[in-house]
Structure 1
Amino acid sequence: METDEGTRWLSDAEQRAWRVHLEVSKLLTHRLERDLQPFGLTMNDYEILVNLSESDGRRMRMSDLAAATLQSKSRLSHQITRMEKAGLVRRESCEADRRGLFAVLTEHGWTTMREVAPHHVASVRRNFVDRLPPEALAALTEALAPVASHLHAERGRP
Structure 2
Amino acid sequence: MATKRIIDDDRLTAVGLLVEVHRGLTNKFATRLAHHGLSENELEILLRLGRTPNCQLRMSDLAAQTSLTTSGVTRVVDRLERGGLVNRASCDTDRRGTWAVLTDAGLERVTAAVAEHIEDVDRWYTGLLTPEQLSALVEALRIVRDTVRPEAVAGVAEAARARPRIAATSP
Give the superposition deviation at 1:81: 0.7
- TM-score, L = length of structure 2: 0.74
1:49 is matched with 46
Verify: 1:25 aligned to 2:22, yes or no.
yes
Distance 1:154 1:45 in 2: 19
What's the CA shift string for 1:63-100, capped at 9, x where partnerless? Answer: 11111223221111111111111111111122332221
Q: Identity over aligned residues, as a percent? A: 37
Which residue number corresponds to residue 5 of structure 1? none
Relative to structure 1, the CA distance from residue 9 to residue 67 in structure 2 (aligned partners, 3 Å threshold; closer, same or farther) is same
Aligned pairs for 1:1-158 within 5 A: 9-11=6-8, 13-152=10-149
Unaligned runs of 5+ in 1: 3-7
Cα deviation code 1:116-137 (max 9, x no counterpart): 2211111111110111233433
Shift of residue 61, structure 1, vs aligned partner: 0.9
Shift of 1:59: 1.3
Query: Whole-Å Cα distance in 2 between the matches of residues 14 and 57 of structure 1?
Result: 40
TM-score (structure 1 length as normaliser): 0.79
Q: Structure 1 residues 132, 94: closer, same or farther in 2, change over 3 A?
A: same
Q: Tell me, in whole angstroms, the C-alpha distance in 2 between the residues paired with 1:139 and 1:53.
A: 26
Structure 2 regions of 5+ residues with no counterpart?
Answer: 153-171
Range 133-142 or range 105-114, more displaced: 133-142
SS of corresponding position for 2:6: coil
Deviation at 1:28, TM superposition (A): 0.6
- In the TM superposition, what whole-angstrom CA distance separates every residue of 1:26-71 from its partner, at most 9, and x where no partner exists? 0111112222110000111111111111223211111111112232
Q: In 2, Cα distance between the equivalents of 1:119 and 1:126?
A: 11
Are 2:65 and 2:151, in contact at CA under 8 Å, matched by a contact in 1? Answer: no
- Pick closer, same or farther for the CA change 1:14–1:119 going to 2, 3 Å: same
Task: Give the whole-Å Cα distance in 2 for the aligned partners of 1:50 and 1:64.
Answer: 14
CA distance in 2 between counterparts of 1:29 and 1:124 reads 10
